[in-house]
Amino acid sequence: MNLTLHVWRQKSRTDEGRMETYLAKNISPDMSFLEMLDVVNEDLIKHNKEPIAFDHDCREGICGSCGLMINGVAHGPEKATTACQLHMRHFEDGAHIYIEPWRAAAFPVIRDLIVDRSAFDRIIQAGGYISVNTGGAPDGNAIPIPKENAETAMDAAACIGCGACVAACPNASAMLFLSAKVTHLANLPQGQPERVQRVKKMVEQHDREGFGHCTNIYECEAACPKEIPATTITQLNRDYLLAITAGGGPGARKGGAG
Protein backbone atom coordinates (compact mmCIF):
# COMPACT_ATOMS: atom_id res chain seq x y z
CA MET A 1 0.00 0.00 0.00
CA ASN A 2 1.06 3.59 -0.57
CA LEU A 3 -0.37 6.33 1.63
CA THR A 4 -0.14 10.06 2.04
CA LEU A 5 0.21 11.20 5.64
CA HIS A 6 -0.58 14.66 6.90
CA VAL A 7 1.13 14.89 10.28
CA TRP A 8 1.18 17.55 12.99
CA ARG A 9 4.76 18.67 13.61
CA GLN A 10 5.59 20.89 16.56
CA LYS A 11 9.12 21.24 17.91
CA SER A 12 8.25 22.23 21.47
CA ARG A 13 5.49 23.43 23.76
CA THR A 14 5.94 26.99 22.55
CA ASP A 15 6.39 26.27 18.86
CA GLU A 16 3.35 27.10 16.74
CA GLY A 17 3.18 23.79 14.92
CA ARG A 18 1.94 22.89 11.44
CA MET A 19 0.73 19.98 9.32
CA GLU A 20 3.37 18.40 7.10
CA THR A 21 2.96 15.85 4.36
CA TYR A 22 4.84 12.55 4.05
CA LEU A 23 4.56 9.58 1.76
CA ALA A 24 4.34 6.13 3.32
CA LYS A 25 5.46 3.68 0.68
CA ASN A 26 5.28 -0.13 0.48
CA ILE A 27 3.14 -0.50 3.57
CA SER A 28 1.97 -4.03 4.36
CA PRO A 29 -1.65 -4.45 5.45
CA ASP A 30 -0.36 -6.61 8.32
CA MET A 31 1.52 -3.68 9.86
CA SER A 32 0.13 -1.89 12.85
CA PHE A 33 -0.43 1.83 12.51
CA LEU A 34 2.64 2.52 14.62
CA GLU A 35 4.76 0.12 12.57
CA MET A 36 3.70 2.14 9.54
CA LEU A 37 4.94 5.26 11.33
CA ASP A 38 8.19 3.39 12.15
CA VAL A 39 8.72 2.86 8.43
CA VAL A 40 8.18 6.56 7.73
CA ASN A 41 10.52 7.51 10.59
CA GLU A 42 13.30 5.18 9.48
CA ASP A 43 13.09 6.80 6.07
CA LEU A 44 13.22 10.29 7.59
CA ILE A 45 16.34 9.39 9.59
CA LYS A 46 17.97 8.04 6.43
CA HIS A 47 17.37 11.41 4.85
CA ASN A 48 18.84 13.20 7.88
CA LYS A 49 15.49 14.54 8.94
CA GLU A 50 14.01 14.38 12.40
CA PRO A 51 11.54 11.54 12.87
CA ILE A 52 7.96 12.12 14.00
CA ALA A 53 7.77 11.93 17.79
CA PHE A 54 4.90 9.86 19.20
CA ASP A 55 4.37 8.14 22.53
CA HIS A 56 4.24 4.36 22.46
CA ASP A 57 5.51 1.49 24.53
CA CYS A 58 3.78 -1.85 24.98
CA ARG A 59 2.23 -1.93 21.50
CA GLU A 60 -0.38 -4.35 22.72
CA GLY A 61 -3.09 -1.96 23.73
CA ILE A 62 -2.62 -1.97 27.48
CA CYS A 63 -0.01 0.59 28.62
CA GLY A 64 -2.02 3.57 27.38
CA SER A 65 1.04 5.39 26.01
CA CYS A 66 -0.05 5.79 22.43
CA GLY A 67 -2.70 8.27 21.48
CA LEU A 68 -3.25 9.72 18.04
CA MET A 69 -6.11 11.50 16.36
CA ILE A 70 -6.38 9.58 13.10
CA ASN A 71 -8.59 11.33 10.57
CA GLY A 72 -10.16 13.22 13.43
CA VAL A 73 -10.99 10.11 15.45
CA ALA A 74 -9.17 9.24 18.68
CA HIS A 75 -7.17 6.01 18.05
CA GLY A 76 -8.62 5.80 14.53
CA PRO A 77 -11.54 4.04 12.88
CA GLU A 78 -11.67 0.64 14.63
CA LYS A 79 -13.92 0.28 17.63
CA ALA A 80 -12.30 -0.62 20.95
CA THR A 81 -8.83 -0.48 19.46
CA THR A 82 -5.80 1.60 20.45
CA ALA A 83 -3.61 3.11 17.73
CA CYS A 84 -0.94 0.47 18.36
CA GLN A 85 -3.44 -2.33 17.74
CA LEU A 86 -4.95 -0.71 14.68
CA HIS A 87 -3.74 -2.49 11.56
CA MET A 88 -3.25 -1.07 8.12
CA ARG A 89 -5.67 -3.55 6.56
CA HIS A 90 -8.38 -1.13 7.68
CA PHE A 91 -7.10 1.56 5.29
CA GLU A 92 -7.32 1.73 1.55
CA ASP A 93 -4.37 1.94 -0.77
CA GLY A 94 -3.74 5.53 -1.81
CA ALA A 95 -5.59 6.97 1.18
CA HIS A 96 -4.76 10.31 2.78
CA ILE A 97 -4.46 10.01 6.54
CA TYR A 98 -4.48 12.97 8.94
CA ILE A 99 -2.56 12.39 12.17
CA GLU A 100 -2.74 14.85 15.06
CA PRO A 101 -2.03 14.85 18.79
CA TRP A 102 -4.75 14.86 21.47
CA ARG A 103 -6.16 18.38 21.53
CA ALA A 104 -7.02 19.70 25.00
CA ALA A 105 -5.91 22.65 27.10
CA ALA A 106 -5.10 20.25 29.94
CA PHE A 107 -2.89 18.15 27.61
CA PRO A 108 -0.26 20.58 26.27
CA VAL A 109 1.75 19.33 23.30
CA ILE A 110 5.35 18.48 24.22
CA ARG A 111 6.49 17.61 20.74
CA ASP A 112 4.76 16.54 17.51
CA LEU A 113 2.19 13.96 18.57
CA ILE A 114 3.28 13.73 22.21
CA VAL A 115 1.19 15.48 24.83
CA ASP A 116 1.61 15.97 28.57
CA ARG A 117 -0.99 13.82 30.34
CA SER A 118 0.35 14.32 33.86
CA ALA A 119 -3.01 15.86 34.79
CA PHE A 120 -4.37 12.30 34.87
CA ASP A 121 -1.74 11.30 37.39
CA ARG A 122 -2.65 14.26 39.59
CA ILE A 123 -6.33 13.30 39.51
CA ILE A 124 -5.40 9.84 40.82
CA GLN A 125 -3.01 11.39 43.37
CA ALA A 126 -5.91 13.50 44.65
CA GLY A 127 -7.92 10.49 45.73
CA GLY A 128 -8.01 7.63 43.21
CA TYR A 129 -6.83 5.01 45.70
CA ILE A 130 -7.72 3.15 48.85
CA SER A 131 -5.66 4.35 51.80
CA VAL A 132 -4.19 1.13 53.02
CA ASN A 133 -0.56 0.71 54.00
CA THR A 134 1.37 -2.43 53.20
CA GLY A 135 0.95 -5.17 55.79
CA GLY A 136 -1.84 -6.16 58.08
CA ALA A 137 -4.47 -6.73 55.40
CA PRO A 138 -7.12 -9.29 56.34
CA ASP A 139 -7.36 -12.57 54.45
CA GLY A 140 -8.39 -12.03 50.83
CA ASN A 141 -11.54 -14.08 51.33
CA ALA A 142 -12.53 -12.43 54.62
CA ILE A 143 -14.98 -10.12 52.89
CA PRO A 144 -16.98 -11.84 50.14
CA ILE A 145 -17.61 -9.58 47.17
CA PRO A 146 -20.61 -10.34 44.95
CA LYS A 147 -19.42 -11.44 41.54
CA GLU A 148 -21.60 -8.81 39.93
CA ASN A 149 -19.87 -6.00 41.85
CA ALA A 150 -16.43 -7.43 41.15
CA GLU A 151 -17.30 -7.54 37.45
CA THR A 152 -18.64 -3.97 37.41
CA ALA A 153 -15.51 -2.83 39.24
CA MET A 154 -13.34 -4.66 36.72
CA ASP A 155 -15.22 -3.17 33.74
CA ALA A 156 -14.36 0.28 35.05
CA ALA A 157 -10.86 -0.60 36.23
CA ALA A 158 -9.94 -1.61 32.67
CA CYS A 159 -9.22 2.06 31.87
CA ILE A 160 -5.70 2.47 30.47
CA GLY A 161 -5.45 6.22 31.05
CA CYS A 162 -4.70 6.99 27.41
CA GLY A 163 -6.76 10.20 27.25
CA ALA A 164 -8.86 9.33 24.19
CA CYS A 165 -11.98 10.31 26.14
CA VAL A 166 -10.63 13.82 26.59
CA ALA A 167 -9.50 14.09 23.00
CA ALA A 168 -12.89 12.97 21.71
CA CYS A 169 -14.95 15.24 23.96
CA PRO A 170 -15.91 18.64 22.49
CA ASN A 171 -15.56 20.02 26.04
CA ALA A 172 -12.24 18.24 26.62
CA SER A 173 -13.74 16.75 29.74
CA ALA A 174 -11.99 13.94 31.60
CA MET A 175 -15.18 12.70 33.23
CA LEU A 176 -14.95 9.21 31.77
CA PHE A 177 -11.41 8.75 33.08
CA LEU A 178 -12.40 10.08 36.49
CA SER A 179 -15.65 8.15 36.72
CA ALA A 180 -13.96 4.92 35.74
CA LYS A 181 -11.79 5.09 38.87
CA VAL A 182 -14.66 6.27 41.06
CA THR A 183 -16.86 3.42 39.82
CA HIS A 184 -14.13 0.83 40.21
CA LEU A 185 -13.56 1.70 43.87
CA ALA A 186 -17.20 2.45 44.72
CA ASN A 187 -18.22 -1.07 43.76
CA LEU A 188 -15.92 -2.72 46.27
CA PRO A 189 -16.42 -2.89 50.03
CA GLN A 190 -12.82 -1.75 50.52
CA GLY A 191 -13.61 1.47 48.68
CA GLN A 192 -16.48 2.56 50.92
CA PRO A 193 -14.74 4.38 53.81
CA GLU A 194 -13.28 7.05 51.51
CA ARG A 195 -16.04 7.04 48.92
CA VAL A 196 -17.38 10.51 49.67
CA GLN A 197 -14.05 12.25 50.08
CA ARG A 198 -12.60 10.50 47.07
CA VAL A 199 -15.20 11.74 44.62
CA LYS A 200 -15.01 15.29 45.93
CA LYS A 201 -11.21 15.48 45.82
CA MET A 202 -10.97 13.93 42.37
CA VAL A 203 -13.61 16.21 40.83
CA GLU A 204 -11.93 19.27 42.36
CA GLN A 205 -8.59 18.22 40.88
CA HIS A 206 -10.23 17.51 37.51
CA ASP A 207 -11.58 21.06 37.42
CA ARG A 208 -8.29 22.59 38.56
CA GLU A 209 -6.48 20.90 35.69
CA GLY A 210 -8.65 22.75 33.19
CA PHE A 211 -10.72 19.86 31.85
CA GLY A 212 -14.21 20.81 30.73
CA HIS A 213 -17.53 19.58 32.07
CA CYS A 214 -19.62 16.71 30.83
CA THR A 215 -22.64 17.62 28.75
CA ASN A 216 -23.67 14.05 27.89
CA ILE A 217 -22.39 13.89 24.36
CA TYR A 218 -20.96 10.36 24.81
CA GLU A 219 -18.10 10.84 22.37
CA CYS A 220 -15.88 9.55 25.19
CA GLU A 221 -17.66 6.22 25.33
CA ALA A 222 -17.48 5.85 21.56
CA ALA A 223 -13.74 6.61 21.52
CA CYS A 224 -12.71 4.57 24.56
CA PRO A 225 -10.48 1.69 23.43
CA LYS A 226 -11.46 -0.25 26.55
CA GLU A 227 -15.21 0.38 26.16
CA ILE A 228 -15.63 2.00 29.57
CA PRO A 229 -19.38 2.70 29.66
CA ALA A 230 -20.68 6.24 30.08
CA THR A 231 -22.89 4.87 32.85
CA THR A 232 -19.82 5.24 35.05
CA ILE A 233 -20.39 8.99 34.69
CA THR A 234 -23.92 8.48 36.00
CA GLN A 235 -22.41 6.73 39.00
CA LEU A 236 -19.95 9.59 39.42
CA ASN A 237 -22.68 12.22 39.28
CA ARG A 238 -24.75 10.33 41.81
CA ASP A 239 -21.85 9.94 44.23
CA TYR A 240 -20.76 13.52 43.74
CA LEU A 241 -24.23 14.90 44.33
CA LEU A 242 -24.59 12.93 47.52
CA ALA A 243 -21.12 13.96 48.60
CA ILE A 244 -21.73 17.68 48.24
CA THR A 245 -25.32 17.76 49.52
CA ALA A 246 -25.76 15.24 52.30
CA GLY A 247 -22.11 15.38 53.33
CA GLY A 248 -22.45 11.72 54.15
CA GLY A 249 -22.94 9.97 50.89
CA PRO A 250 -23.87 6.49 49.93
CA GLY A 251 -21.67 4.81 52.52
CA ALA A 252 -21.57 1.09 52.18
CA ARG A 253 -24.59 0.81 49.94
CA LYS A 254 -24.13 -1.32 46.92
CA GLY A 255 -23.06 0.73 43.97
CA GLY A 256 -24.62 0.23 40.64
CA ALA A 257 -24.55 1.82 37.27
CA GLY A 258 -27.10 4.60 37.03
Partner 1 sequence: MKLDPKIPGGPLEQKWERHKLEMSLVSPANKRKFKVLVVGTGLAGSSAAATLAELGYQVEVFCYQDSPRRAHSIAAQGGINAAKNYQNDGDSVMRLFKDTIKGGDFRSREANVYRLAEVSRNIIDQCVAQGVPFAREYGGQLDNRSFGGAQVSRTFYCRGQTGQQLLLGAYQALSRQIGAGRVKMHPRTEMLDLVVIDGRARGIVTRCLQTGKIESHSADAVVLATGGYSNAFFLSTNAIGCNVTATYRAYKRGAAFANPCFTQIHPTCIPVSGDHQSKLTLMSESLRNDGRIWVPKKPGDKRHPNSIPESERDYYLERKYPSYGNLAPRDISSRAAKEVCDEGRGVGPGGRGVYLDFADAIKRVGRVTIESKYGNLFDMYERITGENAYEQPMRIYPALHYTMGGLWVDYNLMSNIEGLFVIGEANFSDHGANRLGASALMQGLADGYFILPYTIGHFFANAKKEVISTDHAEFKRCEAEVHERIRKLLSIKGRKTAIEFHREAGKLLWDNAGMSRSERSLKEVLKRLPELREEFWRNVNVPGTDADLNQALERANRVADFLEFGELLAYDALTRDESCGAHFRVEHQYPDGEAKRNDADYLYVSAFEFTGVGNTPILHKEPLKYEFVTPTVRSYK
Cβ 175 to partner 1 shortest distance, Å: 19
Q: State yes or no: residue 17 binds partner 1 (CB under 8 A).
A: no
Q: What is the DSSP string of 184-251?
A: HHHTSGGGSTTHHHHHHHHHHHHHHTT-B---S--HHHHH-TT---THHHHHHHHHHHHHHHTSS--T
What is each CA distance from 121 to 118, 129, 181, 209, 211, in whole angstroms? 5, 12, 12, 11, 14
Q: State yes or no: residue 95 binds partner 1 (CB under 8 A).
A: no
Query: Which of the stretches 17-25, 69-77, 86-94, 96-104 binds partner 1 when contact is defined by CB under 8 A?
Result: 86-94
Query: Which of the stretches 97-105, 118-126, 208-216, 230-238 binds partner 1 when contact is defined by CB under 8 A?
Result: 118-126
Query: Which of the stretches 17-25, 127-135, 216-224, 241-249 binds partner 1 when contact is defined by CB under 8 A?
Result: 127-135
Question: For the chain, how many residues are written?
Answer: 258
99: amino acid identity, one letter:
I
Pairing of strands 3-9, 96-100: parallel
Q: State yes or no: residue 207 binds partner 1 (CB under 8 A).
A: no
* Residue from the set 38, 171, 222, 231 that interacts with partner 1 by CB under 8 A: 38
Cβ 143 to partner 1 shortest distance, Å: 8
What is each CA distance from 235 to 44, 222, 230, in whole angstroms? 48, 18, 9
Q: State yes or no: residue 231 binds partner 1 (CB under 8 A).
A: no
Output 126 or 220, the one with its CB closest to partner 1: 126
* Residue from the set 1, 73, 124, 257 that interacts with partner 1 by CB under 8 A: 124
27: amino acid identity, one letter:
I
Cβ 184 to partner 1 shortest distance, Å: 7
Q: Among residue numbers 49 through 68, which ones bind partner 1 (CB under 8 A)? A: 49-51, 53, 55-65
Q: How far apart are CA 19 and CA 126, in angstroms?
A: 37
Cβ 42 to partner 1 shortest distance, Å: 5
What number of chain residues touch partner 1 (CB under 8 A)? 83
Q: State yes or no: residue 134 binds partner 1 (CB under 8 A).
A: yes
Q: State yes or no: residue 170 binds partner 1 (CB under 8 A).
A: no
Q: How far apart are CA 155 and CA 183, in angstroms?
A: 9
Cβ 128 to partner 1 shortest distance, Å: 6
Q: How far apart are CA 117 and CA 107, in angstroms?
A: 5
Cβ 11 to partner 1 shortest distance, Å: 7
What is each CA distance from 181 to 6, 47, 169, 204, 236, in whole angstroms? 35, 45, 18, 15, 9
Q: State yes or no: residue 75 binds partner 1 (CB under 8 A).
A: no
Output 169 or 186, the one with its CB closest to partner 1: 186
Q: What is the DSSP string of 48-80?
A: T-PPPP---SSSSS-S-----EETTEET-SSTT
